[in-house]
Amino acid sequence: MFQHRPGGLDQLLRQDREAQRFFGTLPSYVQDLIQREPQRIRSGAQLRQSAAEILESLHY
């Protein structure tokens, strides 16, 4: 599993229930890709943008 540092995705998911729900609805492969760079994600908007970019890139 990935090692997480405080802040970023972990902090967002602890503090923002909407972000937590959204993250939980993502396919596991999208969650895995987002978790590879957890410090990039600091807001719900960044989480949604990152997920959209991943999905778009995988479905050309």
What is the reported pLDDT for 58?
A: 86
Q: What region, left, alpha or beta, does residue 33 occupy, with left being phi > 0 and alpha being psi -120 to 50 degrees? A: alpha
Contact status, residue 46 vs residue 40, Cβ threshold 8 Å: yes
Amino acid at 28: S
Tell me the pTM: 0.83
> Where does the pLDDT of residue 2 fall: very low under 50, low under 70, confident under 90, or very high at 90 and above?
very low
Per-residue pLDDT tens digits for 40-59: 999 999 999 999 999 999 88
Alpha helices in 1-60 (DSSP H): 8-15, 17-25, 28-35, 44-58
Per-residue pLDDT tens digits for 17-31: 999 999 999 999 999
